[in-house]
Structure 1
């Protein structure tokens, strides 16, 4: 565990120290986000913070490859280097978008090509939960893997709309996955786990970046960062769950929560939900799925009265509930997890709706008071009318 904490500290420290330099470079080369109608920030802010995150992750992985406890993971296969190569490529694609605002179809094509490259390099889901764990064909494995990576990349990209939101949600998911993969790895002769290593390094770089990205942000991660986060957390989940041996796994125990296709969706539930809602909303209006708007979950939070920091913290709370709830069900009785989940959901619901209720309840009372006064006046008027008619 201490070695993993050291790796996280390396990733976080390098990211934190390099981010001010990256900010200066972004300003010099013109990677500055102008204020658009859908944006929350009110002043132009440098982008391309993902470059600092990439360097932090890369340095952490290079350190890990020289640590005796972990170096065997790098010697056994080239999977770690394939993942790192994909991370570099996806960040470069994001940097190009930060600089030149690439067409969404071109960006999507680049994401797909990189995902296929990574799948071709050995990062694949080979087992599918079809009643039992069934080994998929190589072509189907590559297709599913590429789809998951592209979907996660864009889900994190969609939710990256408030300072610290995307990096915090991914860090929370990374912590949940790291705990899970570490516990699973303890059953093997060596505790070393590539999934845990990727998650821990990713969490470290997220924390290092949040220190500069908390509202009001000095630097945005841009697509170079959001795409990198979506890519890494999916790679970690595929490493952990994608190579289950159908002959050695008791599916009645693992299948409900250990499905390779569902694990990334559980951890990235909020980004994926936001992405799905946005796609449906835009297609129903006859717009492109990538057409920007101000109807994301975080925009709705601000609209009902939350501050930027408050909205981010509450969304972090929901992400924690879903990510840790999906993991805890493996280690605790389902009824206890359900009770805790319902209590936490009730508290988060109150916190989410509090600004709306705070303003809405007085309005309702005022409307009721006005309605009561009008009804009283009308009653008095009818009484006077009756007396007048009676006198005649």
Structure 2
């Protein structure tokens, strides 16, 4: 455990130290994002923060490779080196986009090529939880792995719209992965786990970068950072099941075995949902799926009255609720987790909607007062109408009786 804390500290410390240098470099080469109509920030801010995170990750991984406890992970196969090479490739692709704003199809093609390379290097989904464990063919395994990596890359990229948002969500997911993978690794002869190693390094670089990226941010991670984070969090989850023998797994542990595959979907549920809604919205308007707008979830939260820090903290809370609840299901009775989850959902929903409800409260009070006044006027008018018609009927009845009496006389 202490080794993992040390690796996380190294990753975070290196990222924190080199990020100011990266910021200066970004300014020198012109990687400074202009303020666009859809942006929340109002001051041009340099990008390329992913370069600092990449350096922190690589230093932590190389340090781990020199530790006897971890050395076997690097000597036994090429998976670790393939992941590191893919991290360099995906970050450089992001740097190119930060500098020259690549066409989205070209960027997607680059993501696919790098993902296929990493899958070919050994990071693969070799079995599928389809009722029972089904071994995938090599070509299908590579295709599924590449699709999952690309989807996660773009989900994180879509959610990177507020200072500290993407790095915080990924840090939460990495923490959940790290805890779970460490617990599973303790049951094996060696506690060393590539998944846990990637997770702790990922959490470290996220925390180190947030110190520079908290609102108001001194540096944006850019596509170089968001793509790197999406890539790493998915690689860590796939490595968790990459050595699984489908024939040796009992039915009772299907869920624990595939939780590392399900967790990225759960942790990135809101970003993925936001991405899907954005694609549908843009395509329905005849726009490119990657056409930018101000209709993302974080934009809507700012629109209803949240501050940047408040919106980020709330979205972090949602990510933590989903990811850690998913893990708690494996260790506690589901009904207890469900009750706690339901209570937390109610609380977070109220907190999320509070600015909107607070802004709407005077309007609701005014509308309620107007409704009550209108109702009283209607009741008063109805009472007057009933009283008038009652008096008319009484006069008619009196007149009729008088006529009958006259006839009798």
Q: Deviations over 1:195-224 (max 9, x none)?
A: 000000010000000000000101100000
What does residue 182 of structure 1 align with?
A: 182
> 2:262 and 2:101 mapped to 1: Cα distance?
32
What does residue 169 of structure 2 align with?
A: 169
Change in Cα spacing, 1:387 to 1:28, as seen in structure 2 (3 Å) is same
Q: Which moved more, 1:159-168 or 1:249-258?
A: 249-258
Q: Deviations over 1:278-314 (max 9, x none)?
A: 1122222222111111111111111111111011001
Residue 268 (str. 1) matches residue 288 (str. 2):
no
8 Å CA contact 2:129–2:254 kept in 1: the answer is: no
Counterpart of 1:313 in 2: which secondary structure? Answer: helix
Q: Which moved more, 1:359-368 or 1:110-119?
A: 359-368
Residue 359 (str. 1) matches residue 359 (str. 2):
yes
> 1:259 and 1:322 mapped to 2: Cα distance?
13
Aligned pairs for 1:286-325 within 5 A: 286-325=286-325
Larger radius of gyration: 2
CA shift, 1:261, in A, is 4.5
CA shift, 1:254, in A, is 2.3
What does residue 345 of structure 1 align with?
A: 345
> 1:137 and 1:385 mapped to 2: Cα distance?
83
> 1:117 and 1:25 mapped to 2: Cα distance?
29
Residue 336 (str. 1) matches residue 336 (str. 2):
yes
Counterpart of 1:247 in 2: which secondary structure? Answer: helix
> 2:88 and 2:296 mapped to 1: Cα distance?
28
Q: Deviations over 1:81-104 (max 9, x none)?
A: 100000000000000000010000
8 Å CA contact 1:301–1:311 kept in 2: the answer is: yes
> 2:174 and 2:336 mapped to 1: Cα distance?
23
What does residue 57 of structure 1 align with?
A: 57
8 Å CA contact 1:257–1:263 kept in 2: the answer is: no
8 Å CA contact 2:256–2:330 kept in 1: the answer is: no
Counterpart of 2:133 in 1: which secondary structure? Answer: strand
> 1:122 and 1:234 mapped to 2: Cα distance?
14
What does residue 48 of structure 2 align with?
A: 48
Structure 2 gaps of 5+ residues are: 393-409
8 Å CA contact 2:176–2:324 kept in 1: the answer is: yes
Residue 253 (str. 1) matches residue 221 (str. 2):
no
Counterpart of 2:258 in 1: which secondary structure? Answer: coil
Q: Deviations over 1:229-261 (max 9, x none)?
A: 000000000000233211221123223772564
Aligned residues: CA RMSD: 1.9
8 Å CA contact 1:89–1:114 kept in 2: the answer is: yes
Change in Cα spacing, 1:135 to 1:383, as seen in structure 2 (3 Å) is closer
What does residue 157 of structure 1 align with?
A: 157
What does residue 5 of structure 2 align with?
A: 5
Aligned pairs for 1:42-191 within 5 A: 42-191=42-191
CA shift, 1:370, in A, is 2.4
Change in Cα spacing, 1:272 to 1:285, as seen in structure 2 (3 Å) is same
Counterpart of 1:133 in 2: which secondary structure? Answer: strand
Q: Deviations over 1:22-50 (max 9, x none)?
A: 11111111101111111100111110000
Change in Cα spacing, 1:302 to 1:279, as seen in structure 2 (3 Å) is same
8 Å CA contact 2:237–2:261 kept in 1: the answer is: no
Change in Cα spacing, 1:178 to 1:128, as seen in structure 2 (3 Å) is same
CA shift, 1:364, in A, is 0.8
Change in Cα spacing, 1:366 to 1:185, as seen in structure 2 (3 Å) is same
> 2:192 and 2:53 mapped to 1: Cα distance?
23
> 2:383 and 2:329 mapped to 1: Cα distance?
67
8 Å CA contact 2:263–2:323 kept in 1: the answer is: no
The TM-score with structure 1 as length reference comes to 0.95
Counterpart of 2:128 in 1: which secondary structure? Answer: strand
CA shift, 1:327, in A, is 1.3
8 Å CA contact 1:11–1:204 kept in 2: the answer is: yes
